[in-house]
């Protein structure tokens, strides 16, 4: 990977609060133009990491490099704030101020001149059906509208890197879809997006690469398809009619193959196939051992790569 394609480099970064390591030896890089997901449950250290990337916190140790070179030895606070956009998790804007002037002020702080900021603000508000709210005070807007305005405030100044901390939290489903589309749009416009989320299923389709974090530490990192391939697990979902006791069925499955039973009752089951059991083998086993002499009528079956969330849960369990 050529150095110029790396926009942000996080190197062995650690931060502790009151003796607790919120972020512990984390390293990753974000490449130009990609949508990078920083994923993990609440309290995993995502926000702390993001605040360090933005120079709001200083790491206790480690470095954060922007642009691949140049800032190598400086404190991370020296990041080019003009070229970064930020949507914090805890978000709010000036309640008593007007939507338009607020957007212009924030874009101005990032160094964008007022005329250009105004043009862009109008385009964005138009795009999100908020055109007529330009001269209105923020407190007159509904919560959903305010969230859109906050999103605009993060991207108005045409940043090179947009950092979105939990962009989907507090959104209703239609808004989640809208935000997914908006974020894809940013990447199409050439911005690099770093987003954090705890709803892994929601962002799985969005991210090119991901960093999964748990208790401040790396769990998984890399290309999303690659991660799924490397983990090689399969999820088997079956619907069936079982006339015998399901406890008996459970025992037989456990005896026949090393699949992990996620759920099982008289009507269906969900299993997790480990990497070393190919789908073909499992099907064979199913037909020969389980269905043969047992009262099991199979109605539906699917064998799929697991969701990112499933992989995460499995990996964390094994830690």
* Tokens 């008593």, residue located: 96
Find the largest Cα–Cα distance for the chain.
78
State the residues that interact with other proteins by CB under 8 A. 51, 54, 56, 77, 81, 84-88, 90-97, 105-106, 108-110, 150, 153-154, 163
Nearer residue to other proteins within complex by CB, 70 or 75: 75
- Closest CB 95 distance from other proteins, rounded Å: 6
Nearer residue to other proteins within complex by CB, 106 or 271: 106
Nearer residue to other proteins within complex by CB, 86 or 168: 86
Assess contact for 97 and 175: CB atoms under 8 A.
no
- Closest CB 206 distance from other proteins, rounded Å: 22
Nearer residue to other proteins within complex by CB, 160 or 289: 160
* Strands (E) located in 106-229: 161-165, 192-197, 209-214, 217-223
Residue 276 CA to residue 166 CA, distance in Å, equals 36
Question: CA gyration radius for the chain?
Answer: 24
- Closest CB 140 distance from other proteins, rounded Å: 15
Residue 118 CA to residue 126 CA, distance in Å, equals 12
- DSSP letter at 137 equals B
- Closest CB 77 distance from other proteins, rounded Å: 7
- Closest CB 93 distance from other proteins, rounded Å: 5
Nearer residue to other proteins within complex by CB, 64 or 224: 64
What lies within 8 Å, CB to CB, of 54 at 6+ separation is: 79, 84, 86, 163
């Amino acid at each position: 990977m050529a150095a110029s394609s790396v926009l942000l480099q996080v190197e062995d970064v650690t931060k502790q609060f009151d003796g607790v390591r919120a972020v512990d030896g984390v390293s990753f890089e974000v490449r130009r133009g990609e949508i990078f997901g920083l994923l993990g449950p609440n309290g995993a250290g995502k926000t702390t990491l993001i605040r360090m990337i933005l120079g709001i916190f200083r790491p206790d140790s480690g470095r954060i490099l922007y642009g691949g070179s140049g800032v190598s030895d400086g404190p991370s606070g020296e990041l080019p704030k003009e070229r970064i956009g930020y949507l914090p998790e805890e978000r709010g804007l000036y309640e008593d101020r007007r939507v338009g002037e607020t957007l212009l002020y924030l874009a101005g702080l990032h160094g964008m001149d007022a005329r250009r900021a105004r043009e862009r603000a109008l385009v964005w508000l138009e795009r999100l059906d908020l055109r007529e709210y330009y001269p209105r005070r923020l407190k007159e807007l509904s919560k959903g509208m305010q969230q859109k305005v906050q999103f605009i405030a993060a991207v108005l100044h045409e940043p090179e890197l947009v950092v979105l901390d939990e962009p989907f939290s507090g959104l209703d489903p239609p808004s989640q879809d809208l935000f997914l589309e908006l974020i894809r749009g940013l990447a199409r416009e050439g911005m690099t997006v770093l987003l954090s989320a705890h709803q892994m299923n929601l962002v799985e389709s969005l991210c090119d690469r991901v960093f999964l974090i748990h208790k401040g530490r790396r769990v998984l990192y890399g290309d999303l398809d690659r991660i799924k391939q490397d983990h090689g697990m399969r999820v088997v979902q079956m619907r069936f009619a079982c006339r015998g006791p399901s406890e008996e069925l459970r025992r037989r499955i456990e005896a026949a193959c090393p699949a992990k039973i996620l759920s099982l009752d008289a009507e269906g089951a969900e299993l997790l196939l480990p990497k070393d059991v190919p789908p073909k083998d499992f099907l064979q086993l199913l037909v020969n051992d389980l269905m043969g002499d047992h009262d099991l009528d199979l109605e539906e079956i699917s064998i799929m790569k697991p969701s990112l969330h499933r992989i995460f849960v499995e990996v964390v369990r094994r830690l």
